[in-house]
Structure 1
Amino acid sequence: MIAPLLATTVFSASVVVAQVNSDSEADLDPADWTEKETGIPVTDKLTIEKCGTCHAPDDKGNLSRISWIRATPEGWSQAIKRMVKLNGLSISPQEARGVVKYLGTWHGLSPEEAKPVMYLTERRILDETIIPNEAVQHGCASCHAFAQPMSSRRSRREWGLLQNLHKALYSQADFQMSQPAEGHPEPEDSAEKPITRGEVALDWLSKEANLHSKTWTDWRPRIRAPKLAGTWVLSGKLRGQGRFVGEMTIAPAGNDFTTTTTLRSLETGQTMTRSGKGLVYAGYSWRGTSNGGTQPARPDAMTGTLRETMWFAPDQSSAEGRWYWGDYHEFGLDMTMTRVTGGPVLAAVAPLGVKTGAKATQLHIYGASLPADLSADDLDFGGGVTVRKVSVLSPSEAVATVDVSPDAIVGLHDVALNGTVLPKALPVYGTVDYMKVTPETALAHLGGIKYGKGYEQFEATAWSKGPDGKTGTDDDFPIMPVDVDWEMKEFPTVTYDNDIKYVGTLDASGFFTPNVEGPNPERRFSRNNYGEVWIVATAKTLKNKDGKPMSAQAYLVTTVPAYKRWDQPEVSQ
């Protein structure tokens, strides 16, 4: 899950935050407000050329509207597409890329601002944890993820103008924002207007997502050309296919980069090679593509083209993100990267999950530059885990034989090689307490005739209740994947709808393939093949406290295709 968004602060007396509460502006349209905040001058010639005709410059180098907004590369790309569609902007794809690269860097977000909303650009589906209250949720996140507005920073006037844009284009947005705000009392005087969701959202965004934040002011002078050339160790996980390790070699190519990547599956031992390219915005935000060179035999195969979205640490020593593909971006590798600088690098440990009391368990350690003379004294797996011997198979793999004390501390242990640490890499457990199916709530899309299908991959994982012995608390931790039997069961919503017959098929690996789109004459009322089902996993060997096979379930909605795609190829990156 994404960590809660940290509030930004106003840091300088020279930046006057616009609080439009005075009688003179309170009832005015935001378009009539006076911009009171200091803008960020636009210095790029191409951006001035393409944008300055409509966005008038001032004597300080500001372009109207643009200088009072900061956004992610995707946010600026959306703005350009909107200008093309609504205002007739003429711009080539190459010019659009140049403008987005400048604005995404010098009118972008700081690393600290971008990281909590990376899930939007990584195309992840998850429960958002950054929404501050119910009024803001209904006012800003009823139609799209809250990460969408939080992927930008604006002056108060610009937040007000953004609300105006939504009201003009989408009647539902006008309705949502004009409703009385949850959590605010109704006015005692019936003649007074209640506080609306839009007003609450405007106040919150003006303070917590303001144009001038301390993290941006700290980051702006630190922005530098990314120096990423070299070798990087990779560690990734793909739901349903397990974990991968490998290496990526990054080479400069003008202002961008080329990549050569080798990945090895820890489940099957199969290796694959990929080649690609990438570029970096704002000194930390990687956007790339790579290809495995062969036509995928299955929709979930990694041999085709992948999009890469990575967040690099400000010191450019490590990165994390997602490599994704699919018509709905439903397939994705959760990936971490660590730069190889000469010293040892740790990437992964396998197998996962060692039980207290286990003897002579062999743990494979994957990484880079592992010393040939690595000894048992050099490794530390935390309290209660004793390293008996070590065999170095190559500079990228070693095998440690360990004993686990019956009294070993239960939880996620670090793996340490002298001063190099791989945090929370080794689950140590006493018992398997329960099982989970992920994703717990899933969405698939019908398709295959005119539209692409949206698939779903389910996975069953064993969990420990952790040191407190209570299920569902913060110290619970995953142990290892579980071998299970899969089946679909009816989710009763409509009498006799028999969704399990129509929504699609579930194979022995937990891979769900949706049915085709369009009316189905075999269904009552010729309904489409949409529906809701339970995805149930039953363990083949794990037993619960009653001696019965452990089981868990997830909720799956299979819906119609996304008939409208919000994209314009002529200005896409």
Structure 2
Amino acid sequence: MKTKSLNLMLKASISLFVGVVSLNAVDIDAKTIIDTKCIACHTETSQGLSRISEQRKTPEGWFMTIDRMQKDHGLVLSKKEEQSVVKYLSDNQGLNYEESSDFRYILEQTPNYQESFDNTSFVEMCSRCHSGARVGIQRRTLGEWKSLVNFHLGKFPTLEYQALSRDRDWLDIAQNEIVPYLAKTYGNDKKFELKEIDFEGSWNLFGHKLGEGDFTATLKLVQTSKDNYKVSLNGKFIDGKELNATGSAIVYSGYELRAKLDINGVSYNQIFAVNPKTLLLSGSMFETLHPEEHSFVKAVKSTNKQTEILGVYPTSLKSGATENLTIIGSNLTKDIKLSEGLKINKIVEQSSNKLVLDVTASSKYSVKQIDFTINSKKFDKQFTVYKKIDALSITPDYAISRVGDGGGAMPKQHAIFEAYGIIAGNDGKIGTSDDINIGKVNAKWSIEPFDEKAKEDEDVKYVGNIDSLTGRFTPSFAGPNPLRKFSTNNAGNIKVVATYKDGNKIYKADSHMMVTVQKWVNPPIN
């Protein structure tokens, strides 16, 4: 999984957000840089410098702006100056936590996330070229949204001739429908309020890595200078495999943490945010070169006195069976009660952040969701007792994988699939909102042609291979393949199939995957 080459944009963004240089004002005065260099194009107003003062963004958003100023407009900054300016703007004109919460998936690079917006015109006008989150993860005044439309026409002059543009009066719609919508939905009428989180110390962490399973760890942050930290991560996967890492981190906007870690010689990124109200941390950890090698993470500081549950393993048990149940969280030391249907035989292990119980599932119920009560705090539907599943589901239900390597600069982009057992809810139907997900099951994996054209082109033969046990698909090499018709590349249209045996019954489910060519433009916010 190691690849030597990275595209330049990705390299730059990685070095910015997880650099080890100190960003103290005594080192580089970011405001002085802005006042002396940015003022060459941005005039002073009562609110600050024109354009700059009228928008707020995430650290990644400010980086992309500063990067474009250097590439397109001749701004000259050293790497330290660039880092300092991005830090300053993020801390003074960042997004409040609640403003970024709906679009964390784009910052955390959640693999194969499928966006959904109610405004069809917004989708056709904006998110046909980039994610809708790229718009929603910033705040601008009405005038700034107008200027952004004009910028698009100047920067991308063929925009009006493209699909979903040439069939309408694009500019009129953009100016008179989209701009007012954006100003109302993502306007800059609020102020950024810097709420500094005390990151230093130990955090109890629970995570799930796609294709590998759940893990627990202690994340330790030691402050080296203001908002700069030395990071260590020590833990284990549920199967006992160790997870150890060291690295460095920078905090932006008071609550946004960006870290770079080394795990067994492989570079990883962490994109975390702490909710200032609950003080719960959430985010992602992924391979720098392979964001699809992805972990979802939750954490709480070890000094937190609130009783919290970060994760439960397993999340279900068959009726009549006995198993160890592990609960990870904080302040888990007293008054543990489970609702009817799951009996505690004994406490195997108990500490403030970890609880292991020997439990037996009642044979009384066909399906029963179990509530946990710890220290008088109730956690609803944390566990499921069941007799049989009704169906199998796959995540993601649509995926993209990309060929790579083959002597080229871009690495392969894998796709990782997981299968989950599903039980029909009260309506007795599968595929409705009351379905009960019992958790990940150990399915067997295979690939098939998605349609007759894929069968005719022998896509399955050339696109790559899926691990039958883990569900990880590894695409083939990039470039022309002389063994294929017309020496075409190794792209293809694929059906991914999961098979799972529960008792005497075999369940199947499938997902759609497009194996396609490399993606050459990979900014921090797509």
Q: Distance in 2 between matches of 1:98 and 1:179?
A: 42
Work out whether 1:536 is the aligned partner of 2:497: yes
**Deviations for 1:12-71, whole angstroms, at most 9, x for unmatched residues?**
xxxxxxxxxxxxxxxxxxxxxxxxxxxxxx99333323312211112x251011111111
Partner of 1:339: 301
* TM-aligned CA deviation for residue 549 of structure 1: 1.1
What letter is aligned with 2:317?
V
5+ residue gaps, structure 2:
1-28
Query: Which of 382, 389, 395 pairs up with 1:438?
Result: 395
Q: Percent identity?
A: 28
Work out whether 1:354 is the aligned partner of 2:317: yes
SS in 1 for 2:123: helix
Q: Distance in 1 between matches of 2:199 and 2:118?
A: 36
Q: Distance in 2 between matches of 1:233 and 1:68?
A: 39
Going by fraction, where is strand more abundant, 1 or 2? 2
Query: Which of 236, 248, 256 pairs up with 1:264?
Result: 236
Matches within 5 A, 1:402-413: 402-406=359-363, 410=367, 413=370
Rate the CA distance shift 1:161–1:349 in 2: closer, same or farther, 3 A. same
Q: Distance in 2 between matches of 1:555 and 1:229?
A: 43
Q: Distance in 2 between matches of 1:102 and 1:259?
A: 22
Matches within 5 A, 1:97-136: 97-124=83-110, 125-129=112-116, 131-136=117-122
Q: Distance in 1 between matches of 2:198 and 2:171?
A: 54
**Deviations for 1:390-414, whole angstroms, at most 9, x for unmatched residues?**
2336555443233444566956544
Mapped contact 1:57–1:64 kept (Cα < 8 A): yes
What letter is aligned with 1:444?
S
Q: Distance in 2 between matches of 1:81 and 1:551?
A: 47
Partner of 1:501: 461
Partner of 1:513: 474
Matches within 5 A, 1:233-248: 233-248=204-219
Mapped contact 1:233–1:248 kept (Cα < 8 A): yes
Query: Which of 489, 503, 506 pairs up with 1:549?
Result: 506
SS in 2 for 1:278: strand
Matches within 5 A, 1:92-171: 92-124=78-110, 125-129=112-116, 131-171=117-157
Partner of 2:421: 462
Mapped contact 1:434–1:464 kept (Cα < 8 A): yes
Rate the CA distance shift 1:271–1:369 in 2: closer, same or farther, 3 A. farther
Mapped contact 1:226–1:280 kept (Cα < 8 A): no
Mapped contact 2:341–2:368 kept (Cα < 8 A): no
Rate the CA distance shift 1:97–1:477 in 2: closer, same or farther, 3 A. farther
Q: Distance in 2 between matches of 1:410 and 1:460?
A: 20
Mapped contact 2:332–2:375 kept (Cα < 8 A): no
What letter is aligned with 2:132?
F
What letter is aligned with 1:441?
Y
Q: Distance in 2 between matches of 1:140 and 1:411?
A: 45
Mapped contact 1:178–1:198 kept (Cα < 8 A): no
What letter is aligned with 1:350?
Y
Mapped contact 1:72–1:108 kept (Cα < 8 A): yes
SS in 1 for 2:199: coil
Matches within 5 A, 1:269-280: 269-280=240-251
Q: Distance in 2 between matches of 1:193 and 1:362?
A: 60
Mapped contact 2:205–2:219 kept (Cα < 8 A): yes
What letter is aligned with 2:36?
E
Partner of 2:374: 417
Mapped contact 1:359–1:404 kept (Cα < 8 A): yes
What letter is aligned with 1:263?
G
Query: Which of 182, 185, 190 pairs up with 1:208?
Result: 185
Mapped contact 2:149–2:174 kept (Cα < 8 A): no
Mapped contact 2:366–2:388 kept (Cα < 8 A): no
**Deviations for 1:300-357, whole angstroms, at most 9, x for unmatched residues?**
xxxx2211111211147211111112535111110001111264654433222123x4
Q: TM-score, normalised by structure 2?
A: 0.86
Partner of 2:411: 452
Query: Which of 277, 286, 295 pairs up with 1:324?
Result: 286
What letter is aligned with 2:155?
L
* TM-aligned CA deviation for residue 228 of structure 1: 1.3
* TM-aligned CA deviation for residue 387 of structure 1: 2.8
Partner of 2:269: 307
Q: TM-score, normalised by structure 1?
A: 0.79
Work out whether 1:480 is the aligned partner of 2:439: yes
Mapped contact 1:369–1:395 kept (Cα < 8 A): yes
Mapped contact 1:411–1:466 kept (Cα < 8 A): no
Rate the CA distance shift 1:250–1:521 in 2: closer, same or farther, 3 A. same
Question: Per chain length, whose mean CA-contact separation is higher, i.e. which structure has more relative contact order (CA < 8 Å, sep 6+)?
Answer: 2
Q: Distance in 1 between matches of 2:329 and 2:128?
A: 44
What letter is aligned with 1:122?
E
Q: Distance in 1 between matches of 2:187 and 2:355?
A: 49
**Deviations for 1:203-258, whole angstroms, at most 9, x for unmatched residues?**
21011111113xxx4x52xx243311111100000111010011111111101112
Partner of 1:289: 260
**Deviations for 1:159-215, whole angstroms, at most 9, x for unmatched residues?**
01111111122245334685677xxxxxxxxxx9996255321121011111113xx
**Range moving further from structure 2, 433-442 or 402-411:** 402-411
Q: Distance in 2 between matches of 1:411 and 1:50?
A: 64
Mapped contact 1:410–1:467 kept (Cα < 8 A): no
Q: Distance in 1 between matches of 2:348 and 2:483?
A: 62
Partner of 1:49: 36
What letter is aligned with 2:262?
N
Point out the structure with max Rg over C-alpha.
Answer: 1
